Amino acid sequence: MGPAFGSQQQRENQRLERERELLERERREKEEQNQLSEEQREEIKEAFTLFDLDKDQKIDYHELKVAMKALGFDLPKAEILSILQSHGSPSEPTNPNLPHHPRLLLPLAQFQTVMTQKILARDPRDEILRAFELFDEGGKGKINLNDLRRVARELGEGLEEEELAAMIDEFDLDGDGAINRDEFLGICLQ
């Protein structure tokens, strides 16, 4: 057995190691995705499908930016490009007679992996404060009876004025007639 055999054995060992690493990564990604609710997994898939405008099962920079924003992640350009560089693959030439300028595309499986990691890393307090801002019209820092009335109307909830006032009264800990950020966080994190 000469040096050729050792070199061949070394290449085979390297190939097996790459395969093992790939299988381990796929197992971890599957495990992470199982930590999401079925609804969250479906939302990720829907966002991808909705913004995969050319229906090629891959999304480009612009489609990725909008899909991520739809899922609540408004990332800067540099971060989106970084995701494409680490998880994307170059586009194929569409016409062999024309010069090809490849762009990075993100397939569905990689989009699911990236979004799963983003969702699992998200702080629930950030989500709650984002919801607070939807109630707090004008950015007053408080949700008053008018805000609650407006949201109930927008959602088609037929709540009586007394019910809305009772909600404010129940959670208004400082007695100012409105629910501030801390009180709202307290409600949602109970």
* Residue at token pair 């762009």: 103
Q: What percent of the chain has pLDDT over 70?
A: 89
What's the pLDDT at 123?
84
| Cβ atoms of 115 and 68 closer than 8 Å | yes
Predicted model pTM: 0.61
pLDDT in tens, 26-83: 666 666 666 888 999 999 999 999 999 889 999 999 999 999 999 989 999 999 999 9
108 or 20, higher pLDDT: 108
| Cβ atoms of 79 and 60 closer than 8 Å | no
| Cβ atoms of 105 and 59 closer than 8 Å | yes
C-alpha–C-alpha distance, residues 29 and 116, integer Å: 8
**pLDDT classification of 14: cutoffs 50, 70, 90:** confident
What's the pLDDT at 3?
61
pLDDT in tens, 89-136: 888 877 777 776 678 999 999 999 999 999 988 888 888 888 899 899
pLDDT in tens, 123-181: 888 888 888 998 999 999 999 999 999 999 998 888 899 999 999 999 999 999 999 99
What's the pLDDT at 29?
62
C-alpha–C-alpha distance, residues 90 and 104, integer Å: 4
Is residue 1 over pLDDT 60?
no
| Cβ atoms of 41 and 30 closer than 8 Å | no
